[in-house]
Structure 1
Amino acid sequence: MVKSGLERLLKESRKDLLDRRLGLLCHQASILPNLTPAWVALKAKFSQKLKLLFSPQHGLFGEKQANMIASYEIVEPETGVPVISLYGPRLAPEPEHLAEIDILLVDLQDVGTRVYTYIWTLLLTMKACSKNGVKLIVLDRPNPIGGKIEGPILEEKFFSFVGLAPIPMRHGLTIGELALYLCQKFSLDLELEVIPMEGWSRDMFFPETGLPWVSPSPNMPRFETSLVYPGQVILEGTNLSEGRGTTMPFEVFGAPWLKVLALKEFFSKIEGIKVQIMHFIPWFDKWAGKLCQGIRLWIKEPQTYQPVKTTLLMLKEVAAQNPEFTFRSPPYEYEWSKSPFDIIVGKEELREALITQNEEHILTLLEEGTKEFQEEVEGLKLYV
């Protein structure tokens, strides 16, 4: 079984932490293999030294839905430690919070996709710690979809809270490796430590770790969701339902007007995937209460499946066959003017290529910059 950074920290003799005031950035997936929450385990080990908890988007217990649904300050009931929200009232710790601690521990389960706000909460927290002289320790966890990458690379003009650095959509790094990359990329004057996992390798998918899957966010209920998410999250920038408001978010998608028979034919030519025509009625979000003609995705060969490429080529088909298809209007994740589709995919040219049906240009844009990113992060990788 893989040992997380949290598990390793708790088993190590860290005398350097015993007399320091600690904070912890975490969420409901920050657990030990026996499901003990990180804050309970750390409180037991360091007693009164755990001063503050910080929660990312969705709240400490993952109770809030997505897209600017804020969470607020609470007191964690089992430990009595105050929880400071980093989504809504603020997006990073404030100086008065950091004045209460000497070291900030970070234990977050990422899903390997650029459009997932926890890694950007990490970056903004790193910048705040750098300015305020607080050491930051990342307790590493698996990238559930392994070490492969897929573009496109995010362009700086589309930076937002779902992307604040020029990384690929599927980045192939652990959250600890991302912390090292972001520290180097932004030249942060930060005392940064990463406690690596034990037993993890880049060819692993989450079930191979032996660790329990706890939903890192409300619409990431299963490991299988994370397999399709790097592509299907792009649907958030369109008027297609990405399955929010159903029991299978991102694994199903559709709309009342979607021509599903033609799409089934499209998917029959895609390696690593099977599909099923499925009708569904979302109970919230896009097309709430409406019967949607839809598709369910079944990933049969995770090693060969390319989620970003598949979704973009699928959208090319949808745009060609369905005149009702459109791109979503702002706001989206605290961005009030830019196209949600553009800030999600990271390149304006991709939206244009979908409209003009230019498949060759789509595939070129997917590859642009990925080799250079691989070279940039090679020396920062903690695992083979």
Structure 2
Amino acid sequence: MNRSPTKLAGGVRTGTDAILDSGDWIEQLAGSRVAVLAHGASVTRDFVHLVDALLERNVRPVRLFGPEHGLRGEAQDMIPVTSEVDAMTGLPCVSLYGHDEDSLTPRPEQLEDIDVLLIDLQDVGSRYYTYMYTAMLAAQAATAAGARTVVLDRPNPIGTAREGGSVHPGFESFVGMLPLPNRHGLTLAQVLEYARLAGRTIDFEAIPVQGASGGESAVDPFLSGAPWVMPSPNMPTRDTALVYPGLCLLEGTNLSEGRGTTRPFELFGAPWMDAVQVGRSLHEMELPGVRFRVAGFEPGFQKWAGHRCRGLQLHVTDPEVFRPVLTGLAIVWTCRRLHPDDFAWRSEAYEFVADRPAIDLLFGQDQTRGLIDDEADFDVVRDSLLSPVPNARLEEASRFLYGIAS
């Protein structure tokens, strides 16, 4: 069940907290050559960064790895990050998000002097969020190098619900390396288990999330007190994470998805959009658990930076029935239908891919875009993207560690 991001209680223990609380783990790590793949949200229950917490326990990593946005989370999306010395600790940090696809995977020489790779990345439950692919590629490289990989699991901030289709062959990219639904309902460790089941050569251990009793599953974070630190610059809150699986689709269009504002993925619009008409049409569709409010805005950067956008703000009124992918698809379909002369698909390269439209990478296929361009009825467009795809591996992965399926 997908619960409201406002129903936080307390008592969760992440995989990071578990190893830091364990004298046996600390002793093992202190006697090993350790590397850490982490980012700004890799914190303990007391909001201490994992790397700092390790140093406090006399575990000095040999090397750090940072994903998209960098180890400390300063870089915007799709901005290459250089490898450098971490200013906070003086430790060498290798960027796993550089200028080309080769930079996404650790090189063999960057792992040959490593015994243990610790991975602590806060995912947000969406197929497009790149951290899970960084973790997968790093674990795969560590396995090839003979290093032990340990995944420190965290809750999926939007719960175990699933929504959306799969990635079709030929449409794989860094926003869709695995054939998962748009909203996948897995934790990071479960994603790596899915990758292993799908044929990736990955050998890893996972430290599960535990609840207040120390034994029960806290895979539904809205029953727990999991700390929240924004995992990327435009993912400030759990509310953002909840709408992201749908509103990220706007990255494949010339609509602003609210980047450059204080409410990314909740605000959307463009200078040419008739917000009143679009809002009225969306309300007539009776989308579950959401309302739209006219809200103009001016992005400070990215699409339409410095231009006043006529827009809407999305307000989730019932998170348990809200369907983010359905909502994002409805927004795209409505804006294309009402503004055929102004609406456009993104044509620039997207996540290292230049030969396919970004929207096809986000949809995972080109059928849905074709139907929208052909002005098909929304029911037909909806079914092209949202019809469930049987996936036995997904069912098995969803039971990994916690024994419960979505």
With normalisation by structure 1, the TM-score equals 0.94
Written as runs of structure 1 = structure 2, the 5 A alignment for 1:99-114 is 99-114=112-127
Number of residue pairs the alignment of both structures matches: 379
The aligned counterpart of 2:316 is 299
Aligned letter for 1:116? Y
The 1:283–1:348 alpha-carbon spacing in structure 2 relative to 1, beyond 3 Å, is same
3-state SS of 2:68 partner: coil
Counterpart pick for 1:325 among 325, 336, 343: 343
Aligned letter for 1:350? T
- Greater share of residues in strand: 1
Counterpart pick for 1:45 among 39, 57, 60: 57
Written as runs of structure 1 = structure 2, the 5 A alignment for 1:174-253 is 174-188=187-201, 190-199=202-211, 200-205=217-222, 208-253=223-268
How far residue 267 of structure 1 moved from its aligned partner, in angstroms, is 3.5
The aligned counterpart of 1:33 is 45
- CA shift digits 1:16-41 (9 cap, x unpaired): 43321100000000001211100011
- CA shift digits 1:252-298 (9 cap, x unpaired): 00001112112222333222112210111112111111111101011
3-state SS of 1:183 partner: helix
Report if aligned partners of 2:218, 2:224 keep a CA contact under 8 Å in 1. Answer: no
How far residue 46 of structure 1 moved from its aligned partner, in angstroms, is 4.2
Q: Which moved more, 1:285-294 or 1:140-149?
A: 285-294
Aligned letter for 1:308? V
Partner Cα separation in structure 2 for residue 217 and residue 383 of structure 1:
30
Aligned letter for 2:377? N
Partner Cα separation in structure 2 for residue 219 and residue 209 of structure 1:
23
Partner Cα separation in structure 1 for residue 157 and residue 363 of structure 2:
21
Report if aligned partners of 2:198, 2:393 keep a CA contact under 8 Å in 1. Answer: no
Partner Cα separation in structure 1 for residue 33 and residue 401 of structure 2:
30
Partner Cα separation in structure 2 for residue 102 and residue 203 of structure 1:
32
How far residue 381 of structure 1 moved from its aligned partner, in angstroms, is 5.3
- CA shift digits 1:114-161 (9 cap, x unpaired): 101101111211221122111110000010000000112111211111
The 1:352–1:374 alpha-carbon spacing in structure 2 relative to 1, beyond 3 Å, is same
The aligned counterpart of 2:182 is 169
Alignment partner of 1:56 is 2:73: no
The aligned counterpart of 1:382 is 402
Q: Percent identity?
A: 39
Partner Cα separation in structure 2 for residue 298 and residue 327 of structure 1:
25
Tell me, which stretches of 5 or more residues in structure 2 are unaligned? 1-10, 212-216
Report if aligned partners of 2:275, 2:294 keep a CA contact under 8 Å in 1. Answer: yes
Partner Cα separation in structure 1 for residue 328 and residue 310 of structure 2:
17
The 1:383–1:292 alpha-carbon spacing in structure 2 relative to 1, beyond 3 Å, is farther
Alignment partner of 1:369 is 2:382: no
3-state SS of 2:65 partner: strand
Counterpart pick for 1:160 among 146, 165, 173: 173
Alignment partner of 1:145 is 2:158: yes
How far residue 163 of structure 1 moved from its aligned partner, in angstroms, is 1.1
The 1:124–1:44 alpha-carbon spacing in structure 2 relative to 1, beyond 3 Å, is same
3-state SS of 1:150 partner: coil
How far residue 6 of structure 1 moved from its aligned partner, in angstroms, is 0.2
Partner Cα separation in structure 2 for residue 383 and residue 29 of structure 1:
26
Aligned letter for 1:236? E
The aligned counterpart of 1:358 is 377
How far residue 371 of structure 1 moved from its aligned partner, in angstroms, is 5.5
Partner Cα separation in structure 1 for residue 398 and residue 175 of structure 2:
24
Partner Cα separation in structure 2 for residue 222 and residue 289 of structure 1:
24
Report if aligned partners of 2:272, 2:309 keep a CA contact under 8 Å in 1. Answer: yes
Counterpart pick for 2:287 among 260, 266, 270: 270
3-state SS of 1:261 partner: helix
Report if aligned partners of 2:193, 2:397 keep a CA contact under 8 Å in 1. Answer: no
The aligned counterpart of 2:144 is 131
Partner Cα separation in structure 1 for residue 227 and residue 144 of structure 2:
36
Partner Cα separation in structure 1 for residue 235 and residue 395 of structure 2:
30
